[in-house]
Amino acid sequence: MFKFKYTLVALLGFVSSVTQAGEAAELNFIGFSEDGTHLAFEQYGTMDGSGSHFSYTYVIDVAKNKYAIKPILREDVDGEKTLEEFRAEPPEELTAQLTENGIQTGNFGQHVVTHLFSDVGADPKLAQFALFPPLAPLNHSTYSVQLTEEEGEAECFGLGEPKRFSLKVIHDDTQSETVLQTDSKIPKTRGCPLAYRIQDVYVYNRQYIVVFLNMITPGFEGQSMRYLVVTGALPEPKDTSEEVKG
């Protein structure tokens, strides 16, 4: 397990959660590089209260679970344009970084789980999937992504108990597992995280796994939701077969 300062928690930028008011960001998964070692995604929306539009884009080193570049954070403070107009004019820096890191728009790999933020019936802490259609009588291996929360220290202004999280993926048959991330503390850039939830899981070339989390924080007129991403290696099934000796 690597030290937390090198882990990735891709989130809404470096602004106070108090200014991210009462609304949920939208997720735009841009795509992987051809070899799956990098990915890019955007989260965007309009801040409640101020009416400012935001578009924050992240390029991720998938194997290392960390930023490949400094997040590109854009805001339309005046709000004179529509959100669509604002997003339709990406800066040259963003286009250049996507190209430099080999990002292929629409190269999504294998989308194995989706529990939209509006899906109130989904288990927020568990996602299970197979890499192939689990059709009888075939018996395909399955995986479980498990999210756990623990209390941590953060400034929440009396609005709730802050949470840190741990995320791991388990090969269900062999119980081999990979710990994707374990928070030792809550980074200041998260503000005051009250809860986390698994939304989407992607697998690339049966080698890498990508988990998008919802993070709930206090907002200006209610709660706000922002996206975090955690990445790493998909655990390989252990070879439990025994050699037949004659």
- Domain contains 243: no
Question: For position 240, what pLDDT does the model report?
Answer: 42
- Domain contains 239: no
Using DSSP's 3-state secondary structure scheme, residue 189 falls into: helix
Arithmetic mean of pLDDT, 25-30: 98
Question: For position 241, what pLDDT does the model report?
Answer: 43
Question: For position 140, what pLDDT does the model report?
Answer: 82
Both tokens of 36, joined, read: 């799956």
CA distance between the termini of the chain: 42
- Domain contains 241: no
- Residues 39-98 pLDDT 10s: 999 999 998 777 899 999 999 999 999 999 999 999 998 778 899 999 999 999 999 999
Domain count, the chain: 1
In this structure, which amino acid lies at residue 20?
A: Q
Arithmetic mean of pLDDT, 108-123: 96
pLDDT for 15 beyond 90: no
- Domain contains 139: yes
Both tokens of 186, joined, read: 């809550």
- Residues 132-157 pLDDT 10s: 988 877 778 899 999 999 999 888 88
Arithmetic mean of pLDDT, 239-244: 40
- Domain contains 162: yes
- Residues 189-239 pLDDT 10s: 899 999 999 999 999 999 999 999 999 998 877 889 999 999 999 997 655
Write out the residue range of the structural domain in which residue 118 sits. 4-233
- What DSSP assignment string belongs to 118-179? T-TTS-TTEEEEESS---TT----EEEEEEEEEE-----TTS---EEEEEEEEETTT--EEE
∠ CA(4), CA(98), CA(65), 5° rounding? Answer: 15
- Residues 159-181 pLDDT 10s: 889 999 999 999 999 999 999 99
- Domain contains 20: yes
- Domain contains 242: no
- Domain contains 61: yes
